[in-house]
Structure 1
Amino acid sequence: MPITSAHAAALYDRVRSVIPPIEWPAFTDDIDAILDLKRRRNAVILAHNYQTPEIFHCVADIVGDSLALARKAMAVEADVIVLAGVHFMAETAKLLNPQKTVLIPDLRAGCSLADSITAEDIRLLRQRYPGVPVVTYVNTSAEVKAESDICCTSGNAKAVVESLGVPQVIMLPDEYLAENIAAQTDVQIIAWKGHCEVHERFTPADIRQLREDHPGVTVLAHPECPPEVVAEADFSGSTAAMSDYVGSKKPSRVVLMTECSMSDNVALAHPEIEFIRPCNLCPHMKRITLANIRIALEENQHVVTIAPEIAQRARLAVERMLAI
């Protein structure tokens, strides 16, 4: 039986605190269609923490940060995976599910970090630093992963770096993540000058102003933020770590120095906590909408493909990370 509008209506209780009632009717047709299409196509939707609440809480089957999505993608039994995130995440899902159809709803959903480095850049780095292992952030293309020794995420970067048992590593492409990890380990880290266009905009002055305007606020910062921002914060960690912090520490008032929708999604689970929202949008994440998720499932677009010779080497770098 097809799914009816009653299903979408019932989902509104999940998001009513962040989506005004007047906006909700604009989402219901697409939500109903997506729920029906998932059932008919044996499809699942993987959504990153930066997706908007109507996607994250109403149509997604698996949610989380880059590491969680990569791990959970390995166990997906559906025929079709729709990645509600950016292109490198869809490629990672394809690497781990080579026999499944992986769809990205908008090909323009890219990443400033992924765009900051190429496979040729890594080959040149290896010439300059012979024998030094390359640790590559998952926010990169499959071609870049294929040139790497091992991948990492913001949540496991320190563990990955130290797992290699060497005095020096090349860590790329996020310069600030590399510097923040370098401050936590004795391993010497050679960084690349890539930045996240969301996190690089936060400043220590932003945090000082937040503390002045909202006394007693607890500040959590993503490690892609500049080191001086992380130094001003009360805690720094991946999106999953920030969510866990809120759930375990229960600060009465909190601010997450990261992408806008993250606060909305965490706030829904903790209505007793006041969330202050300094809003830096990721323009790439926001290219994913209910409308184009629906079209992706209806028209089987856009199919993610990776050349076999690239996929084999890139998959090895991801699998090495997941084995830690």
Structure 2
Amino acid sequence: MRSARAETMQAQDALVDEIRRLKATKNAVILAHNYERPEIQDIADYLGDSLGLSRQAATTEADVIVFCGVHFMAETASIIAQDKTVLIPDLEAGCSLAESITHAQLVAWKAEHPGATVVSYVNTSAAIKAESDYCVTSSNAVDVVNAIPADEKILFLPDRFLGTYVEMKTGRKLEIWPGACHVHEKIGDMNLAAKQREYPDAEVLIHPECGCSTACMMNSAMSFDCKDARIHSTSGMLTRAQASEAQEFVVATETGILHRMRKENPGKTFHPASEASVCEYMKMTTLTKLRDALAHDQYEVRVDPAMAEAARRPIDRMLAIG
């Protein structure tokens, strides 16, 4: 008699085969973020961070883009690839950071600072992007801000921790919106201190959206020792994990990235800074929902052409800089 695990694996394999068949039939490409479930990462044609996924959406020759991520990412793909059909497996996959600023709030903020340059994290809605001058990701925010003339006032939104990180790296004084990711915000120095005691030889990798990243850069009084800590975007963490001579790492970001790190570095060990650092929105996509999206062309995310034209400008500027 077969075990329940064997039956589950057989059912999963059948879903994977069906997804691949549907993908070929519809000339579709599957894009997935590093924080998605392991089985979603494994079936993706391209796995990456927000910048890498944006680049793939801009260059794909597929007719259909199935975006395994959160809603603003599918919107970004629609903005970049207006001639493509963009599907998201679950319409409820939102983002607490993107929702931390509304269009009306940004318009009012801009009115308080006439003539200011608006730099928006890619983790924002299409409406916010349409009001922006530049988009950034955590991997290129410093480069983008450095490319803006020094005499221009910058409104940076919506993540306050990334904004402070960029401010400290560039030496520029920014006006920073007080938003945050509910997952990264909760990763504090107490988490890292406990992990350092547990794994004293581990190198610590910290995402700049974490509050502890700012404290670490300022060498503030903290519970953990910063000397072995490095601050990187998700793509930067992956690169560092491969390049470092360290054999053990504590990773301060959403736990989904650990699956890819372990696959790419089989001889190394990775520990989450906090086991609770799980984005429930990123985990909403399942193989069944992905199959249904392809089978029934659901759920389409399409940005209005006029808004897409306005939102495309800051994205193109971001992609041109790096």
Q: Which residue of 1 aligns with 2:222?
A: none
8 Å contact from structure 2 (residues 261, 270) kept in 1 = no
User: Which residue is equivalent to 1:27?
Assistant: 12
Residue 25 of structure 1 and its aligned partner are, at CA, apart by 3.0
TM-score (norm 1): 0.91
Q: Per-residue deviation at 1:229? A: 5.5
CA contact (8 A) 2:139 2:236 kept: yes
Q: Select 1:293's aligned residue among 268, 290, 294.
A: 290
Residue in structure 2 matched with residue 304 of structure 1 by the alignment? 301
Whether contact under 8 Å (2:138, 2:233) holds in the other structure is yes
Could you tell me which residue of structure 1 aligns to residue 233 of structure 2? 238
User: Offset at 1:143?
Assistant: 0.3
1:259 paired to 2:254? yes
| 1:45 aligned residue | 30
Asked whether 1:74 is paired with 2:58, we answer yes
Task: Give the counterpart letter for 2:267 in structure 1.
Answer: E
CA-CA distance at 1:199 after TM superposition: 0.4
**Aligned equivalent of 1:313:** 310
How high is the TM-score relative to the length of structure 2? 0.91
Which position in structure 2 is the counterpart of 1:3? none
CA 1:115–1:26 in structure 2 vs 1: closer, same or farther (change >3 Å)? same
Deviations 1:202-236 (A, max 9, x none): 11111111110111111101110012256636111
**Residue 132 of structure 1: aligned partner:** 116
Match of 1:113 in 2: 97
Deviation, structure 1 residue 26: 4.2
Question: 1:244 & 1:276 partners in 2: Cα distance?
Answer: 17
Percent of paired sites with the same residue = 41
The CA RMSD measured in Å over matched residues stands at 1.4
How many residues matched?
304
In 1: Cα distance, 2:230 partner to 2:9 partner:
34
Partner of 2:250, secondary structure, is strand
Unpaired runs of 5+ residues, structure 1, are: 1-19
User: CA 1:250–1:29 in structure 2 vs 1: closer, same or farther (change >3 Å)?
Assistant: farther
The aligned residue for residue 178 of structure 1 is: 163
**Which structure exhibits the higher relative contact order, with contacts defined as CA atoms closer than 8 Å and separated by 6 or more residues?**
2
Deviations 1:3-59 (A, max 9, x none): xxxxxxxxxxxxxxxxx87853342121111011001110010011111221112x2
Task: State the one-letter code of the partner of 2:41.
Answer: F
Q: Secondary structure at the match of 2:208?
A: coil
SS of equivalent to 2:201: coil
Give 1:101's match in structure 2, choosing from 85, 103, 108.
85
